[in-house]
Amino acid sequence: MNVLEKSDRPWGRYEVLQESPSHKVKCIWVKPGKRLSYQRHQKRSEHWFIVSGQAQVTINGVVSSLEVGDSLDIPAGSLHRIASIGNSDVIFIEVQAGTYFGEDDIERVEDDFGR
């Protein structure tokens, strides 16, 4: 599969697998003990499918655990974050749907890395 974009982040990395005007698909790796910023998007919703590892997910203040095979939907405007709580990377597929997929549609409410 051709990777359209790769990006290393302080919490891990991601690869863009597919992109169109209506959706974007990413594979995301979160290092053990790391988490993404607590954030929301105005112009897109997301669907996460866990393919490896143990994840702790926070959606609008509600914390839950996800394991391999679990998935969840994040409506546009919802605060969300994912953390890797096991001894290995959490790997998940993120499907974004909406009208705009730029990184500047990220509103960070809390961030471990000062972004």
For residue 23, what is the domain's CATH number? 2.60.120.10
* Domain range for 19: 5-109
Tell whether 26 is covered by a domain.
yes
Question: What's the structural domain count of the chain?
Answer: 1
The contacts found for 23-26 with CB under 8 angstroms, 24 or more apart, are 23/95, 23/96, 23/97, 23/98, 23/101, 24/95, 24/96, 24/101, 25/93, 25/94, 25/95, 25/96, 26/93, 26/94, 26/96
Q: What does the pLDDT look like over 76-110, one tens digit per residue?
A: 999 999 999 999 999 999 999 999 999 899 999 99
8 A C-beta contact, residue 72 and residue 95: no
Tell whether 24 is covered by a domain.
yes
Q: What does the pLDDT look like over 16-48, one tens digit per residue?
A: 999 999 999 999 999 999 999 999 999 999 999
